[in-house]
Amino acid sequence: MPSKELRKYKELSKEVNPEINAAALDMACACLKNLGGHPYKYDDSQEGLKAFIENSQGYFAYLQSVNSKLEEKQGIIPDVEGYALFLGVDRSTINRYHNRGGEWAETIDLFKNAIGYAKKQLMLKGKIPSVLAVFDLANNHEYLNTGEFKLSANVTNNDNKERSYDNIKSYRLTEGADNADIQ
């Protein structure tokens, strides 16, 4: 038997009006015609950042414009993929821009936060299934599921010595560790 969330999602999907997809697809078609070049559409400069910010603001203005003309259940929900598409890049490129650090990272964090906020509000009001919102927040907004954890390597000793059995044994001897278990 399908879960409560799956049943709710199926019910919501029956209510989807074709105008929702039409607005999203219109944006996609327009944006795909205006793709930037590679490797980056927005240069790592103040001018590039300014253009990025203006176009990011344009995404939200576009959503506001489209959503103000449609009924409540027909609006476009802001998301990272739509944001990237509007900017003429992909999600990975937005992440590479974020890795530039400084103002780039702060700007992208702010816009992603606005997207996450909108979706979280829709989830809390029961407008989108919570399982879908949790999935999106974990993948696009750095939230962690309580059952999930991420490991990262923190290298504090930067010696790149090869660690063979003999090297490990001698290392432990010099460090004063109990070597009774090493034969």
Reply yes or no on whether the pLDDT at 115 is more than 50: yes
19 within domain boundaries:
yes
d(CA 13, CA 99): 36
167 within domain boundaries:
no
Higher pLDDT, 12 or 173: 173
87 within domain boundaries:
yes
151 within domain boundaries:
no
Number of structural domains the chain divides into = 1
Helix axes 102-124 and 130-140, enclosed angle (nearest 10): 170
75 within domain boundaries:
yes
Q: How confident is the model at residue 178 (pLDDT cuts 50, 70, 90)?
A: low
Q: Is 80 exposed, middle or buried (0-12, 13-18, 19+ CB in 10 A)?
A: buried
CB 82 within 8 A of CB 76: yes
156 within domain boundaries:
no
Whether the pTM exceeds 0.85: the reply is no
Q: Domain limits at 43?
A: 4-140
182 within domain boundaries:
no
43 within domain boundaries:
yes
Q: What is the mean pLDDT of the chain?
A: 75
Output the six-digit token pair for 136: 């999106």
